């Protein structure tokens, strides 16, 4: 998202200069405003790093990911046999003993796997919550980069 020099950036300054009647002030004011925004974003980023991002979050994330891996491996081990049996019983579902057997297998599957599914979903949400903090910091970095590039493009204009 690099802001390259573009004549329309300079046209913005020309319009502002025409409104104010001062050729130098708009460029200086706009650059000062952008610098202030960059400072404010850096302060926000520092506050997030100080108060919202905890080293324990990093440790928790690793722990959650390890637990998630173990749970997923258990699910991967238990799901296929149930799927195979239920797939075959579906072919003969019009036969009452097979239909009853399939219902029992489903109940047993749900009994075994439901807690694992719930735990997996809970761990996914905890990991995403930790990732959201990281994404917020990356978003602030992108804003700072954009504003810096836009300021540099303004600075290239011949006004002032």
CA 86 to chain CA centroid, nearest Å:
37
| Burial degree of 154 (CB within 10 A; 0-12, 13-18, 19+) | buried
Domain range annotation of the chain: 7-155
Please list the pLDDT of the chain residue by residue as tens digits (160 residues). 455 567 888 888 888 888 777 767 788 888 899 999 999 999 988 887 777 656 777 788 889 999 999 999 999 998 999 999 999 999 898 999 999 999 999 999 999 899 999 999 999 998 888 888 778 888 999 999 999 999 988 888 874 4
Contact in structure between 41 and 144 (CB atoms under 8 Å): yes
* Positive or negative: CA dihedral 7, 12, 17, 18: positive
Distance separating alpha carbons of residues 143 and 151, to the nearest angstrom = 12
Distance separating alpha carbons of residues 148 and 46, to the nearest angstrom = 18
Q: Which two tokens stand for residue 113?
A: 């796997």
Cα Rg of the chain, angstroms:
29
């Amino acid at each position: 998202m690099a802001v390259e020099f573009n004549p329309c950036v300079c046209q913005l300054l020309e319009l502002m200069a025409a409104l104010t009647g001062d050729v130098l002030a708009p460029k200086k004011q706009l650059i000062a405003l952008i610098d202030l925004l960059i400072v404010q974003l850096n302060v926000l980023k520092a506050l997030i790093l100080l108060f919202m991002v905890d080293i324990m979050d990093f440790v928790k994330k690793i722990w959650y990911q390890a637990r998630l891996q173990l749970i997923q491996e258990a699910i991967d081990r238990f799901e296929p046999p149930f799927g195979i049996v239920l797939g075959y019983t579906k072919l003969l579902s019009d036969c009452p003993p097979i239909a009853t057997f399939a219902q029992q297998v489903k109940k047993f599957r749900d009994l075994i796997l439901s807690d694992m599914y719930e735990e997996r979903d809970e761990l996914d949400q905890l990991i995403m919550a930790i990732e959201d903090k990281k994404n917020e910091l990356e978003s602030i970095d992108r804003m700072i980069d954009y504003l810096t590039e836009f300021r540099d493009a303004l600075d290239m204009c011949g006004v002032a």
